[in-house]
A and B are shown apart, each in its own frame.
Chain A
């Protein structure tokens, strides 16, 4: 059974810092890995999708990497802003067409 873990569970940083969020998974037979952002009480917004054959994806200030063999992914956020404050979730897709989510990292960026 796939298990996804995100570390840290919460993170508080001053504005302008670069930061890294970590995600690990136990079963490396994944189709892809997707990073999401969730604002309080809202749905999930997709940030980046990395296919199993890819090593990284970039979008603006965000960069996600994937090391399938070691079961790890990182989400790098450059020059953080208060608007980046949210919960960040990683999820993997195995056979079965379902997402398995980590518990999330709650990020607070202080002005």
Chain B
């Protein structure tokens, strides 16, 4: 079965712009989580959506937002980009709760210049 699909794979944006990243979970998975990975901070939790509702949010500024659609696909938006937002953004899907484990996509590499 198809895995977790993230698009695009690479993005280059200018400071002040906004960006939207997309994640399609494994078929039948209703939970989608987003993580930011940087060399300095490692992997940090952004937010988690289940059945179109945000269930949990990490400690990130309001410039980071997301949503989930009825087909479980999720988008993440970052507004007013800063240089420090350059990172690998990873999406993970799960059947419903974390106890079933997570499957990750290949990530979107965002570079802010």
Within 8 A of A (CB), among B39-61: 42-43, 45, 48, 50, 55-56, 58
- Checking B58, B104, B105 against A98 with a beta-carbon cut-off of 8 angstroms, the contacting residue is B58
> What are the interface flags for A74-111 relative to B under an 8 Å C-beta threshold, 1 for contact and 0 otherwise?
00000000000000010101001111111110000000
Q: How far is the CA of A63 from the CA of B104 in the complex (A)?
A: 21
Q: Is the beta-carbon distance between A51 and B105 smaller than 8 angstroms?
A: no
Given contacts A97-B31, A97-B56, A99-B35, A44 and B109 within 8 Å (CB-CB): no
Q: Which residues of B contact A99 (CB under 8 A)?
A: 33, 35, 43, 45, 92, 98, 102
Interface size classification for chain A: 20 to 34
Q: How far is the CB of B64 from chain A (nearest CB, A)?
A: 15
In the bound complex, residues from chain A placing their C-beta under 8 Å from that of B66 are none
Nearest chain B CB to A8's CB is how many angstroms away?
A: 16
Cβ of A41 under 8 Å from chain B: yes
A81 to chain B, nearest CB (A): 23
Q: Judge whether B97 and A97 touch: CB under 8 Å.
A: yes
CB distance from B83 to the nearest CB of A (A): 20
B62 is an interface residue with CB less than 8 A from chain A: no
- Whether A97 pairs with B98 at a CB distance below 8 angstroms is yes
In the bound complex, residues from chain A placing their C-beta under 8 Å from that of B6 are 43
- For the complex, is B7 an interface residue (Cβ under 8 Å from A)? no
Max chain A C-beta neighbours (<10 A), residue from B42, B99, B101? B101
For residue A65, CB closer than 8 A to chain B, the reply is no
Residues 11-36 of B contacting A (Cβ, < 8 Å)? 31, 33, 35
Whether B104 and A97, one on each chain, are in contact in the complex, defined by CB atoms closer than 8 angstroms, is: no
Complex contacts, A41 vs chain B, CB 8 Å: 88, 109
